[in-house]
Structure 1
Amino acid sequence: MKIVPLEPGRCRPVPDSGFGALRTDRGNLPLEGVDVTAAVSGLVAGVEVAQEFRNPFDVTLEATYVFPLPDRAAVTAFRMEADDRVIDGVLKERGQARADYDRALREGRRAAIAEEERPDVFTIRVGNILPGERVTVRMSLSQPLPYEDGAATFRFPLVVAPRYIPGAPLDGSPAGDGAAPDTEAVPDASRITPPVLLPGFPAPVRLSLAVTLDPAGLDLRDVSSSLHVVEEDGHTVRLRPGERLDRDFILRLAFDASTALQIDTSGTDGETGGQTDRETDGGGTRGGGTFALTVVPPALEAPRAPRDLVLLLDRSGSMSGWKMVAARRAAARIVDTLTSNDRFAVLTFDSVVEQPFEGLVEASDRDRYRAVEHLARVDARGGTELLEPLREAVRLLPPAEGRERVLVLVTDGQVGNEDQILEQAGGALSAMRVHAVGIDRAVNAGFLGRLAGLGAGRCELVESEDRLDAAMEQIHRRIGAPLVTDLALKGLDTEPGTVTHLGSIFPGVPLRAYGRLRRVEPGGATVTVRGLAAGEPWERQVTATAVDNPALRAVWARAHLRALEDRYAMGEHELEDEIVRVSLEYGVLCRFTAYVAVDSRTVAEGGPEHRVIQPVEPPSGWEMPSAPSMPGFMAQAAVMAAPGPFRASSPTFEAALDQGVPMSPPAAPAPPRAPGAGAAGSAPGDAGGFGASSGGSAGPRGPVFGRPGAVPRPARRAAGGLEPVRGQLVAELDRLKALPTADALYLADLGSRLAALSSYLGDHAELSALARELEAAERPGTDLAGLRRHAVEVLTSLTGGPAPDAGGGGSPEAGGGSPAGPRRAPFWKRG
């Protein structure tokens, strides 16, 4: 990407802040501040998130921000504040909300829209921000706190980490403005891959976070912050000023939970959140409500049935550094929990799957030692191709009489094809017990929780090496059989299909369940929880307490919607109408709905003149190269320093990672290497690495990611020909064809990227010539449309594809792209 010249008087270098970092009084990033205010009461938190945008440009602006929220939090309100005006958002079906937002921008009105991309990834767009104007958007959330081993955890994510995007790029216009193209495996990849700031860039966003604690009658013994420095002021805990949006905020609250049944009837006599809790049945009236059940684990010994266990260890590039060390230790500890009655297999995976031995073997001392020895040699490399190892694990775990099937996944979960994985492997995983160990300071907790929930297992999160020992103790206790299984509730008149998945009761982890009631008895209610403990009947009776807490209804609706969305992802597409109905009825945002706030006042002439997607911080703890030698670093500096547009062509954080080149994965998966084999035979274009060194080395030493858009390191020059970069050229061609118009800056940036690729290849004549022509795109009088057509023709010839139409793809909704390509589903239904 080309660096745009800036006036020296307006921008000056920032000492010790990273290569290419500049400071300008004008600024060029629209997001100025993020304020999080939480009120914790018992095991539920109410949260308000405020995001402040400012337009530093001389023209009207549309700002896009891709950000995380807790995966179990229910978004129940949305508001836009600008120019002393307050506009409340309205929850609508997602396509309708998008249409309302786009119409408002065309008519010159301010508007904002909030959309869910994943259970823990959201997008906010704010349009027609006037020059110099500030606009604040606010979101209200209700969030349950997980409780285990005597402590509740308030976890609030602050950055969307880069995710591995498998699959071949799709034709047509992208679904979003992110750094990765949409692919057949991740049709909305461009909506979940924001560009990433250059490491060392001065903190561009002011962050404030405060949590007010109300024990709600419980004995709060201790409060601890895991990853941030905090200050305490009475019952309020605040982040120290200057903290960055680069890792999860984690607050642990130590107290003793108790068995309880709470019933909220606050909406019985009126409407709340678009729904009514009072219905008419024949000649009478019945009052409904929402219940929240907590059952503390019984003091029992967990049974130890013989197990068939498959351990999957993620060794992909994003796991490098402390995460790989922690993952190896966690995996070794899991192997140590096995007994001679168990059988097991160990699979390590990136873009290939390796195992120390074939199939399941008895957990003898010898084979456990072999497994640990194999794990000790594992290092990070390649892309996170998770689907194939999951399939292999399912194959290794057929039903066996008298044996429990267990799958344990150790990973950071940084993949973009979550729905594809659920669709193709979810059914099989639901028939066995699945445990997930998430290791990262910005972990994909939503996806790992979904996997563990499918298999009635547990998801344990490890955010630091300091936390590893405590987390491994918990994993050791729960990796075996649960205390109580086959749970059922008796005594409550529940609405069919509304009770959340009961799962099992594990040591130290209370049962948490929510549901909707058709009728609340005037004298209160009692529920009987029944199950099997060590094969014997077990039950516990709990008497209800009436509460006035609308947050319980929101928490239930969010959990119910997540379950429906997972079933939709696994193929039950007939649930779409039900998902939209529940979302609108209970006022909780979901994948198929969106909050939209539209100002009635006209403030501009037509739509925004400039559009910017806010880059995000590099996640804390992700290893970076020691020197900015890659052209990708120059591209990132351009993104940060120049006030010009940066959109889907912007490189991602992976581009700057050591020893690897982000490439599109091959259309067909690479064959797995034999156990213990090196990478010398890998094709240079494989997702597992670029140009693995000769001489039988163990493969590339540093992280490698499977995402197009980055530039290879000149030091790792190919032997000749275009094969090493063909995948990247195809990705560049697809993006060029999908470009709505011939944009001078984009074409010049493309020229810079092609020049770097040519240099990598040892000066490829045709590629160099095209690069020189494109780099001149910003000269006055250049025929941009003709230059674009010429570039499409040359890249098509170089990649060996058919001559395409260079006019650009149609809209995704219209099935844009080549006529022969597959029709693309509407963006809000993709993935």
Structure 2
Amino acid sequence: MTVQIASLKPGEYAPLPDAGLGALRTGKGNLPLESVEVDARITALTAGVEVAQGFRNPYDVPLEATYIFPLPGRAAVTAFRMEADDRVVEGVLKERGQARRDYDQALAEGRRAAIAEEERPDVFTMRVGNIVPGERVTVRLTLSQPLPYEDGAATFRFPLVVAPRYIPGTPLDDRSAGDGVAPDTGAVPDASRISPPVLLPGFPDPVRLSLTARVDPAGLDLREIRSSLHVVTEEEGVVRLQPGERLDRDFVLRLAFTASASLTLVPDHVHGHDGGPGTKDGTTEGAQDHGEHDGHDGDGDGTFTLTVLPPAPGGPDARRPRDVALLLDRSGSMSGWKMVAARRAAARIVDTLTFDDRFAVLSFDSVVERPEGLSAGLVAATDRNRYRAVEHLARLEARGGTEILDPMEQALGLLDDPGRERVLVLVTDGQVGNEDQILERLGARLAAVRVHTVGIDRAVNAEFLGRLAGLGSGRCELVESEDRLDEAMEHIHRRIGSPLVTGLTLKADGLGVLPATVTHLGSLYSGVPLTVSGRFHGPATGAVTVHGVGADGPPWERRLDGTPAEGRAPRAIWARSHLRRLEDRYAIGEHGLEREIVETSLRHGVLCRFTAFVAVDSRVVAEGGPGHRVLQPVESPSGWAAPAPPVPPAPMAAAPMAFTSAAPAIFSVASRDAASPAPGAPEYTAGPGGGAPGTLGGGPGTGTGAVPGTAAGAESGGAVPGWAPVAPTPFPAPPAGARRGFGRSVSRKAAPAARPVPHSVDSVRPQLAAELARLRERGSLTVAERRLYLADLGSRLTALAAYTGGEPALSALARELSASETPGADVDALWGRAVAVLTELTTAPGGPDIPDGPDDPEAGTHRPIAPRPSFWKRS
């Protein structure tokens, strides 16, 4: 079978100039990362990927190289290997703090070592230490990922660059968590770990990129393949990237498949029985079995994967009137084609509204603006109002910083009518660093609305946008080019409307499904099959029936018989999804989950933010440890504006200036010598003149770089064009001596901070009082309307219960209300119980007055939160 490969973005790949202003040219070269090789095997709707990163030491002293790189946000990293000098060392998955101690100790003893850590669901750090002069070291990561499927096509997306993210908050006084170019702040305590230096476009020695995808339809009807980058086919089913492509955008393959409903049952296997790690010989060290067993492993004997096709959509009368809040990001990072595409996307959304709908448009950077002539609240979607909104959108240009929290809070404040379909649409590239702060502040409220995110960029922050959409039971659409926009907007138009089936539940027949392991069911939308996975006990036999409520009220169900299958990807993909859900609960306040997250990660051999893969060689190769350290710079994302020429740096100002677009550009490399006067903080100089050719800095083995666009650089005229310095919302300073984020070595550990504790029910009493007031006001709703309202209320109370660490009465009520849409539920009894429990929970004897309802000016007010240790484990 021959399949034609079409380009997603024809004519957009003119080569960049050979070199940019200030690029460091040396015959010897000074960037440790030589190559990135990606080998993907796509089987139906799953991809197994191996990523190989090749490092070389061009210096005359042992080297430690650090590389901040992206991986697909839904991918499960299951294996790690280091290869050097004909030796192969298998990585071991450990609790993150322990892995870092093992790595630091190995370097101090002169042994080779490598460590892979997750900073964000789609941002990782690789460190390879004690690379001896002239040596090449290769590290390999093995991962599995599901392919999202919609409207007849599956998408394989592999990111190739970590795009700069906007970092809000006040810089912290203590030591940086990493060596990146952005300072750690109260809002983003690990900013220095997610902000690699950026090369000027056209740097003459880019990393050699090799990418191969082998496509096996596995019985599905594959009709077409489309690619975002230039590819060639060498043989049937093999797609290979053409030489010369740079690591400056996401690689995307869209595969036109015909999907089908299915239930696959995959029993567990022991590592080493099917080609996985677990064997040792004279050149292989460090393998482990990650705790897998033949029998029960604590949460089941196998993994099921369920794919459910949506029913045929009903007519337009099947949905309720909508309240739509549209948020458009106009920050500096949205310049160029992204701003054009974002305006078009927002205008298309406004055009889909009907006279029965109400809407609001909020454009934001460091301030929030609304169309002239429209009120501050929701307005009717008349022709006149829609025209004013589109006219406002057409005038927007990129500027300022990505202050996303305030506009989202304003939008959620508008969407307070449960009698209407409440929809929040966010159009952005998502390039912010304070994801955890946003989730903590908004997690409970996002559960009350449908949240749809439109990510526009060639290197979009897809995982964060997906998490927002998941909390709001919505969908995330990624747009990597203007050519893709029309297709993407067709999907969004359908999703803004009511889902075809809600209130989904599973009932197993002959299969020992473990309910606590089942991933989020969500809702069924037109053209979007639902995929659910979980764990089961016992034999791989049985069936599952999916129940729900159709858009017009009648019950809906589908029964699927299980089909036994083999493979390790389903278990890994489920574990990564389950861990992501636990991590999101941790982020919104349920901090007691840390131990469960670590145990789950180790049991299933899947990397998460609380664990790390570490590979340590037993051979001593560098007495005294590395004499030089380099942080690998990355490409500027394709389509981002080039930075201004470098300027001499000045000391960091006490009052911070927030970056509003790309991170500072680096013209050679950010480096740190072992003898640096400020360990942990890169020392920068302007231009390549400070050192001899082929060296890094003012002496042998040292480096030069330039950092325009920092706070000091912006003040002295070196800001990137189109960037506007803004004063971010200040956060409380950390307590004296408090440690934020990671240290780089054992010797840097500070006194341990107090362990975070769940919030008390007092902290959510204003929200509970508002819910109680709304509940009492809506007692006259019809039975069907009350059923839907109780289900919505249950979802909101679930989030509030998580915030309090699982307050028993609140958790129990949330579970009961969440089941209000199931057949046979007693709506009157549930309504009365909700009133009684909320009344008890909002009564605080001797305490402050509780607001009576949503009209109280204090209801729902967010006070500044105290700084807390960063989301992931510290050493």
How high is the TM-score relative to the length of structure 2?
0.73
Cα distance change on mapping 1:77 and 1:499 into 2, 3 Å? same
Cα distance change on mapping 1:709 and 1:138 into 2, 3 Å? closer
For 1:306, give the aligned amino acid. Answer: P
Structure-1 separation of matches of 2:871 and 2:412:
31
Gaps of 5+ in 1: 1-13, 636-648, 651-661, 667-684, 689-703, 712-735, 763-800, 817-821
Q: Does 1:560 align with 2:565?
A: no
Which residue of 593, 608, 611 maps to 2:626?
A: 608
User: Is the 1:174–1:812 contact (alpha carbons within 8 Å) kept by the matching residues of 2?
Assistant: no
Cα distance change on mapping 1:172 and 1:739 into 2, 3 Å? farther
User: Is the 2:646–2:706 contact (alpha carbons within 8 Å) kept by the matching residues of 1?
Assistant: no
Residue equivalent to 1:153 = 155
Aligned to 1:77, the other structure's residue is in SS state strand
Q: Does 1:570 align with 2:588?
A: yes
Shift of 1:706: 9.3
Residue equivalent to 1:659 = none
Structure-2 separation of matches of 1:325 and 1:137:
40
Aligned to 1:210, the other structure's residue is in SS state strand
Which residue of 559, 582, 607 maps to 1:541?
A: 559
Which residue of 468, 473, 476 maps to 2:490?
A: 473
Shift of 1:624: 2.5
User: Is the 2:587–2:871 contact (alpha carbons within 8 Å) kept by the matching residues of 1?
Assistant: no
Alignment of 1:696-715 (within 5 A): 704-705=660-661
Alignment of 1:443-458 (within 5 A): 443-458=460-475
Structure-1 separation of matches of 2:711 and 2:410:
39
Aligned to 1:183, the other structure's residue is in SS state coil
Structure-2 separation of matches of 1:603 and 1:190:
30
For 2:322, give the aligned amino acid. Answer: R
Aligned to 2:593, the other structure's residue is in SS state helix
Residue equivalent to 1:496 = 515
Q: Does 1:505 align with 2:520?
A: no
Aligned to 1:383, the other structure's residue is in SS state coil
Cα distance change on mapping 1:212 and 1:543 into 2, 3 Å? same
Structure-1 separation of matches of 2:456 and 2:748:
38
Q: Does 1:123 align with 2:125?
A: yes
Residue equivalent to 2:604 = 586
Which residue of 261, 264, 267 maps to 2:266?
A: 264
Residue equivalent to 2:323 = 308
Structure-2 separation of matches of 1:364 and 1:41:
48
Which residue of 109, 114, 130 maps to 1:112?
A: 114
Shift of 1:739: 5.1
Q: Does 1:317 align with 2:361?
A: no
Structure-2 separation of matches of 1:110 and 1:147:
42
Cα distance change on mapping 1:336 and 1:278 into 2, 3 Å? same
Structure-1 separation of matches of 2:251 and 2:336:
21
Structure-1 separation of matches of 2:184 and 2:100:
19
Cα distance change on mapping 1:95 and 1:227 into 2, 3 Å? same
Shift of 1:824: 7.4
RMSD: 3.4
Structure-1 separation of matches of 2:297 and 2:184:
49
Deviations 1:318-354 (A, max 9, x none): 0001000000000000011111111111100000111
Structure-2 separation of matches of 1:414 and 1:293:
33
Shift of 1:198: 1.2
Structure-1 separation of matches of 2:365 and 2:17:
38
Q: Does 1:829 align with 2:873?
A: yes
Residue equivalent to 1:792 = none
Residue equivalent to 2:443 = 426
Structure-2 separation of matches of 1:512 and 1:354:
38
User: Is the 1:813–1:826 contact (alpha carbons within 8 Å) kept by the matching residues of 2?
Assistant: no
Comparing 746-755 with 73-82, which one deviates more in the overlay?
746-755
Residue equivalent to 2:165 = 163
Structure-2 separation of matches of 1:296 and 1:741:
52
Q: Does 1:405 align with 2:422?
A: yes
Structure-1 separation of matches of 2:483 and 2:138:
37
Alignment of 1:622-637 (within 5 A): 622-624=640-642, 628=644, 630-632=645-647
Aligned to 1:276, the other structure's residue is in SS state coil
Which residue of 137, 141, 144 maps to 1:142?
A: 144
Aligned to 2:517, the other structure's residue is in SS state coil
User: Is the 2:96–2:874 contact (alpha carbons within 8 Å) kept by the matching residues of 1?
Assistant: no
Cα distance change on mapping 1:20 and 1:279 into 2, 3 Å? closer
For 2:444, give the aligned amino acid. Answer: G
Residue equivalent to 2:538 = 519
Structure-2 separation of matches of 1:399 and 1:758:
47
Which residue of 349, 353, 366 maps to 1:351?
A: 366
Residue equivalent to 1:380 = 398
Q: Does 1:436 align with 2:449?
A: no
Cα distance change on mapping 1:664 and 1:538 into 2, 3 Å? farther
How high is the TM-score relative to the length of structure 1?
0.76
Structure-2 separation of matches of 1:751 and 1:406:
44
Residue equivalent to 2:254 = 252
Cα distance change on mapping 1:346 and 1:743 into 2, 3 Å? closer
Structure-2 separation of matches of 1:422 and 1:280:
32
Deviations 1:291-319 (A, max 9, x none): 00111121232632111110000000000
For 1:234, give the aligned amino acid. Answer: E
Cα distance change on mapping 1:812 and 1:416 into 2, 3 Å? farther
Structure-1 separation of matches of 2:871 and 2:423:
36
User: Is the 1:665–1:706 contact (alpha carbons within 8 Å) kept by the matching residues of 2?
Assistant: no
Which residue of 286, 294, 307 maps to 2:307?
A: 294
Q: Does 1:341 align with 2:356?
A: yes
Shift of 1:173: 1.4
User: Is the 1:813–1:825 contact (alpha carbons within 8 Å) kept by the matching residues of 2?
Assistant: no
Shift of 1:482: 1.1
Deviations 1:548-572 (A, max 9, x none): 1111000000000001001111111
Aligned to 2:25, the other structure's residue is in SS state strand
Structure-1 separation of matches of 2:123 and 2:573:
18
Residue equivalent to 1:646 = none
Shift of 1:811: 3.7
Residue equivalent to 1:204 = 206
For 2:408, give the aligned amino acid. Answer: L
Aligned to 2:412, the other structure's residue is in SS state helix
User: Is the 2:71–2:124 contact (alpha carbons within 8 Å) kept by the matching residues of 1?
Assistant: yes
Structure-2 separation of matches of 1:557 and 1:99:
26
Residue equivalent to 1:42 = 44
Residue equivalent to 2:7 = none
For 1:289, give the aligned amino acid. Answer: G
For 1:455, give the aligned amino acid. Answer: G
User: Is the 1:172–1:815 contact (alpha carbons within 8 Å) kept by the matching residues of 2?
Assistant: no
For 1:494, give the aligned amino acid. Answer: V
Which residue of 596, 601, 608 maps to 2:614?
A: 596
Structure-2 separation of matches of 1:275 and 1:187:
35
Cα distance change on mapping 1:741 and 1:115 into 2, 3 Å? closer
Structure-1 separation of matches of 2:710 and 2:73:
42
Comparing 615-624 with 302-311, which one deviates more in the overlay?
302-311
Shift of 1:738: 6.6
For 1:20, give the aligned amino acid. Answer: G
Structure-2 separation of matches of 1:280 and 1:324:
50
Gaps of 5+ in 2: 1-15, 274-288, 668-675, 687-696, 699-703, 718-732, 738-742, 754-865
Q: Does 1:814 align with 2:748?
A: no
User: Is the 1:38–1:45 contact (alpha carbons within 8 Å) kept by the matching residues of 2?
Assistant: yes
Question: Percent of pairs identical after alignment?
Answer: 67
Cα distance change on mapping 1:254 and 1:30 into 2, 3 Å? same
Deviations 1:692-711 (A, max 9, x none): xxxxxxxxxxxx44978999
Structure-1 separation of matches of 2:37 and 2:75:
17
Shift of 1:812: 5.9
Shift of 1:280: 10
Structure-1 separation of matches of 2:117 and 2:328:
33
Cα distance change on mapping 1:508 and 1:25 into 2, 3 Å? same
Structure-2 separation of matches of 1:353 and 1:530:
42
User: Is the 2:430–2:461 contact (alpha carbons within 8 Å) kept by the matching residues of 1?
Assistant: yes
Which residue of 202, 215, 218 maps to 1:216?
A: 218
Residue equivalent to 2:831 = none
Structure-2 separation of matches of 1:753 and 1:326:
28
User: Is the 2:290–2:604 contact (alpha carbons within 8 Å) kept by the matching residues of 1?
Assistant: yes
Shift of 1:231: 3.6
